[in-house]
Amino acid sequence: MVTTARGLALEHFRWINGHADVWAIFRDAKALAAVVRGLVDPFRDEQVTAICGIESRGFLLGAAAAVELGVGFVPVRKGDGLFPGDKVTRLTAPDYRSLRHTLRLQRPSLGPGDRVVLVDDWIETGNQAVTVKGMVEDCGATWVGCSVIVDQLAEESRRGLGTVHGLLAARELPSYDPSA
């Protein structure tokens, strides 16, 4: 019986029409709890005061990680949806699909004295993480690092991101089999 965060993430990972899918983790309470613990464990002694999460899976994982650590959650919205108040807004560099995203964070939600970790499902180019890091620092907070289920970040993209913790490296995922 698999009980580790890494093992449960692998067990619940699947490919659907060539797209990586981690949504099954959210449907299994034990897997979700283990994954969330696995995401925050490396940061338990870092005096983290807030977890950021990028819309949408980052909202779910980030909020659960914040509860696990007993700290607040700070959402980072994409696009133009309702998000009242003073915001820090930045445009990301292109992602793995060559898309750029406008990210928004409510400025009063972070300030000096805050220590922040970004939690998300996947990191590939690191462009969204770099953008959020800049937004966190614009608010006067300290960036600690980021934690993800799947780490696909190239070594040169890690510079400047602090600690990058992944439960799995992308190379550990099963290969995509179009016949499956």
Query: Is 168 within the bounds of a domain?
Result: yes
pLDDT digits (tens, 9 = 90+) for 140-172: 999 999 999 999 999 999 988 999 999 999 999
> CA dist 164 to 26, 35, 87, Å?
22, 16, 26
Across the range 41-69, mean pLDDT stands at 97
Cα 158 off chain centre by: 14
Query: Is 14 within the bounds of a domain?
Result: no
pLDDT at residue 177 greater than cutoff 90: no
CATH number for 54: 3.40.50.2020
Query: Is 113 within the bounds of a domain?
Result: yes
Number of domains into which the chain is organized: 1
How sure is the predictor about 91, in pLDDT bands with cuts at 50, 70 and 90? very high
How sure is the predictor about 180, in pLDDT bands with cuts at 50, 70 and 90? low
pLDDT at residue 1 greater than cutoff 80: no
Query: Is 180 within the bounds of a domain?
Result: no
Q: Which domain holds residue 87?
A: 46-172
The pLDDT assigned to 3 comes to 87
Query: Is 32 within the bounds of a domain?
Result: no
Query: Is 51 within the bounds of a domain?
Result: yes
Across the range 61-67, mean pLDDT stands at 98
Query: Is 178 within the bounds of a domain?
Result: no
Across the range 122-136, mean pLDDT stands at 97
